Amino acid sequence: MVSLLAAVLMISPAGPTDPMPRAMVEQGVLVGREAEGVRSFKGVPYARPPVGELRWRAPRPAEGWNGQRDAGQVGAICIQPPANGDNGVGPLPMSEDCLTLNVWAPPEGARDQTAPLPVMVWIHGGGLNNGSGTAALYDGTRLARRGVVVVTINYRLGRLGFFDHPALAAEREPGEPAANYGLMDVVAALEWVRDNAAVFGGDPGNVTIFGESAGGALVTRLMIAGPARGLFHRAVVQSGLGRDEGTPLDRPRRDGGPSMQARGTTFAQAHGAETAEQLRAIPAESLLRPAPNFYGGDLLVEDGRYVTETVEAAFAAGREAPVPLIIGTNSAEFWWMKPSDLSPYGALDDAMTDEERSAFLGAYGGQDGYDAHVLSDLVFNEPARRLARLHARNGHPTYLYRFDVVSAAMPEPHAGATHASERQYVFDNLTASPWPTAEMDQRQADALAGYWTSFATKGDPNGGRRQAWPEFGSEPDRLLEFTNDGPVAKPVPFGERLDLIEAYYARVR
């Protein structure tokens, strides 16, 4: 491992005639860039390209290189279908060779050399089918200027990232991990961060993982995955589900859905593939057809090693990582969807008793209110409260939030913060917002970025002159709501609705 002295020397500019910063990581020398007082190193391989015989294999350590490697441009995004304009997808090209990460570090003179900086590792969302760590939305410059080292990563997606087939199972060695290749990639990236954080002035003993949507679901899996234990020390879950059950490796789902191997068999038959060799010969782009007809929570697999149980069950038993946690949701997550629009939630109505149905309609103010809000509560709001309650009960610092910032330019008809709309505020990257922003938006971005970086620094988002954020263990069922007028500490909104959902889950499970 590179010594701290060498790290300090190698990140410094080479001389007055060459302003580009260098960093000596374990694989070799990187040549980065400096802009706005922040040093960046992009397109850095953290694992070998998962191609050929390494397709559907656990990631292998990145190979070294001779000389200096240019780290001025982001790498290729992972194979994925079109993302319908989501600004969380980075620029082309797209390639199966995509296991790279990007690092932003504060300027050398802006920090105390004796005090390593907290590290924040971003795990992007996109339903485990789309997204990348290379999008302008996730540029780490403005967070790094607050005194943290920011890392964004790519991981395998869709059928390349979450897949199995009996032919692949037959060739695996006993105990070899399977199916959750995208999750394995994230663990490999965290191992790279552990081994190289000091090179960039970061503290490998103070790593915060933060992710949104499917990235948040990956954060919760990392909290219960044995191979990830000790690789991070704080966690942030942004709209990261919580009661999703994933898909078993080789047995049917509890709701009767097929196992991951059964899905793989169906796909392989459609492409005339029976052997592992034939599967690996399928062109990567062909793995996108037909498009997956399931959402991200279904893709994560109970593989027996990385994921052995549901997140809710692990938290209920106190088996999650004992780290400080921020968890929360947006106020109008899936405002445009009904339960029947998203498997497996369409079964909710059929499973309800008449008494439950009456209570739900009363709590939601009738059918229209139920249709507009129950899916967001089922998928995001109640599970976040449930995990916050369990984590706090287990004695770990826990902070619950609700994001309700709505830019004046945000399109109607929804009233509230839609799914994923907090990302540009967390990164303080309003220039990447899909709609125009104003002074109010910048104030709220300053607030979120401040809370998140304070949490990364000391495991507590509070400090300075910011509104105090209630700790869930000492102030149960109170959260911090981010509004257009600033943060407000208050009881969890719509508790009656969430109580009904919690009781429903307790009955059907």
**CA–CA dist 350, 64 (Å, integer):** 56
Cβ–Cβ under 8 Å, residues 41 and 71 = yes
Radius of gyration of the chain (CA): 22
- The phi, psi pair for 88, rounded to 5°, reads -95, 5
Across the beta sheet with 68-70, the strand order is: 13-15, 18-25, 28-31, 68-70
**CA–CA dist 54, 341 (Å, integer):** 36
Helix-strand-coil split of the chain, %, nearest 5: 35, 20, 45
Burial (CB count within 10 angstroms: exposed 0-12, middle 13-18, buried 19+), residue 476: middle
* In the block, residue with structure tokens 């109640």: 382
Burial (CB count within 10 angstroms: exposed 0-12, middle 13-18, buried 19+), residue 109: exposed
Maximal CA-CA distance, the chain: 77
DSSP state of 212: E
Neighbours of 370 (CB within 10 A): 21
Tokens, residue 153: 């990563």
Cβ–Cβ under 8 Å, residues 67 and 83 = no
Tokens, residue 188: 């490999």
**CA–CA dist 327, 386 (Å, integer):** 10
pTM of the model: 0.95
Cβ–Cβ under 8 Å, residues 427 and 88 = no
Neighbours of 409 (CB within 10 A): 12
Nearest residue to 306 via CA among 410, 403, 211, 187 = 187
Burial (CB count within 10 angstroms: exposed 0-12, middle 13-18, buried 19+), residue 153: buried
**Residues of the domain holding 440:** 4-508
pLDDT, mean of each 10-residue run, the chain (509 residues): 36 52 97 96 98 98 97 98 84 97 86 81 96 97 97 97 97 94 98 98 98 97 98 98 91 88 95 97 93 65 94 98 98 89 76 92 95 94 98 98 91 80 97 90 98 98 96 97 97 98 91
**CA–CA dist 221, 245 (Å, integer):** 11
Q: So which residues are the catalytic ones?
A: 213, 333, 419
- The phi, psi pair for 331, rounded to 5°, reads -75, -20
* 14 membership: H or E segment, kind and range: strand 13-15
Number of domains in the chain: 1
Tally the C-alpha atoms within 13 A of residue 358's C-alpha that lie toward its C-beta. 3
**CA–CA dist 225, 481 (Å, integer):** 30
Tokens, residue 197: 């954080």
Residue 413 identity (one-letter amino acid): P
CATH number of the CATH domain containing 334 = 3.40.50.1820
**CA–CA dist 150, 208 (Å, integer):** 10
Report whether the peptide linkage leading into residue 248 is cis, meaning its omega lies within 30 degrees of zero: no
* In the block, residue with structure tokens 């059929």: 350
Cβ–Cβ under 8 Å, residues 184 and 279 = no
472 three-state secondary structure: coil
Contacts of 96 (CB under 8 A, 6+ apart): 49, 50, 51, 55, 78, 79, 160, 284
